[in-house]
Structure 1
Amino acid sequence: MTTDALIDLGWSEHFAAEVADGEGPIARITSVHRSRAEAVGPDGPMTLAPGDTPLVVGDWVVVADDSVARVFPRRTVLARRAAGAESAAQLIAANVDTLAIVSSCNADFNVARIERYLAMALQAGCTPVIVLTKADECDDPDDFARRAAAISPLAQAIVVNAKAAEDVRQLDALCGPGQTLALAGMSGVGKTTIRNALTGEEALTAGIRADDARGRHTTTSRQMRRTLAGGWLIDTPGMRELGLAEASAGIGELFADIQALTEACKFRDCAHESEPGCAVTAAVAAGALDKERLERWRKLKREEQVYTAGVAETRSRQKGQQRIYNEGTNRGRAKRGDSGRR
């Protein structure tokens, strides 16, 4: 194992500090399946049996006997609320440096949806960028670029024609040696075409339905691939909906202007609706805060609060079940005169 080989895979001092003396080979997870995981190490690709900790693409692991012995603490982790659940998170990718939020220069461009991805990226600790595709099919791509840039000063907006490989080269700086870039967005916005250009592969792309400008899902699972620029790319399946998991910090960072206003309200428990002395509603009345932006913030805050409450309820229920189990076990031992020690 050489340090240079690991750095090439995205290794950093963050992970080096977690290595224990005498630990076995180190690898990075490139895809996860039900009973196995694909990984790449300094000596090349390998197939591993998963351990007890759920794996996600991008994880760093210690290998022992063709199995995952340990998962390193994740530097960044992208997560969404699991479909159909109010209090369960689904991991998307780990140890990602940059999240490219892919949208298109057409009717699919949606500020609220992009804000969700931005909140997820900021919560994870990734650098977000907004990549606008289908520039060749739009009369005024610069207008979309301005609208995207206006969403947040924290995310650069990049306009590309995904079908022109030389145009996609703008993204090479985000996935150079030692860097990991993830692509996320709805189906049909051009993620697979971008992936093909960045990796040199010719993966299947599906046709676009003319009635709604959307395509069929062509990426069916998450996988980490080598890029032509020398880094790594994680492509994700198209998401029809992005429900946020724990995202309070990400929402606060994305809406820092509104967060600052809430701290100037007269009452600490101000709901920012019609309370006297509310700095938020005063800013809207003065034209300093866009009302639609405020409504989007309110919606995300409500959703995050529901998720947090659901997680707390689930944990409380699990603790209660564990307590009942422990009490039953202790009663059984007492009847047998068994201390539980061997």
Structure 2
Amino acid sequence: MTEPAIAATGLRKSFGDKVVLDGVDLRVAKGTIFSLLGPNGAGKTTMVKILSTLISADGGQMRVAGHDPVREPDDVRAAIGVTGQYSAVDNLLTGRENLALMGDLHHLGRAKSRRRADELLERFDLVEAGRKPASTYSGGMRRRLDLAMTLVGDPAVIFLDEPTTGLDPRSRRTMWQAIRELVAGGVTIFLTTQYLEEADQLADRIAVLDHGRLIAEGTAAELKRLIPGGHVLLRFAEPAAVATAVGALPGAALGEDELSLRVPSDGGVRSMRDLFARLDALSIEVEEMSVHTPDLDDVFLTLTGRNEMEPQR
């Protein structure tokens, strides 16, 4: 079995008498996007800091990019990149100078640092802006430059802490595309975000952290199926078909018109197969069908008791 990019077992951390992480287990496959959600104070940022060697855990075992953050912190740091909530860009330097400086810090050598800077400016559509001071950049340009700086060392694992906070919708989608391209190239992304839509759009797997424990984990679709309220809306061509379907489908209710039915369903393959087997057995023709499932906002509210994500600390 392939070694995961990130693995933790029994991860614990307390600050005084406050337990922040209480025996957390997680596994992040290589070349995927793993999103960690949770209300403010749930322990998300603490987990990122531990996995990226910024602070130590009180207990548990970890592997990041094949290395132990406790025994091999330098190896972990060489294999990861971290983009925090706040930009690490130096406003007094141009975009190219910021990237070249990162190359120098990675000991790439002057020539290689400059080549790498030019490659990343091209990749993130910042060639023209790269000649200008970072103080003149828009929010979206700054975040793209920030991500580019994280990539100077060619990391295998990147921790992204709220990478699109404060960006307009177009800039946010540009960042999403950049993140997808990184993963397509084999990079692993550990993402924390306060935008549930962002996790829904990007993440291969999502975990919900609350009061120091992982209370749910799965794909976005799997998490949505945990919450009641999902249904299939069926539309028929004739009222007679509706009447027959009502008798054959437990819990079915008439829709807004006399030709549609709402049928409780989690939207899963098995339940859909059973639904259509019942309809087929009675030779009932369905004209249109749509599946409606709860969104991640519903999941978050139900699991944590909070009606919105709060900014992380």
Scaled by the length of structure 2, the TM-score of the pair is: 0.25
Scaled by the length of structure 1, the TM-score of the pair is: 0.24
Higher relative contact order (CA 8 A, sep 6+): 2
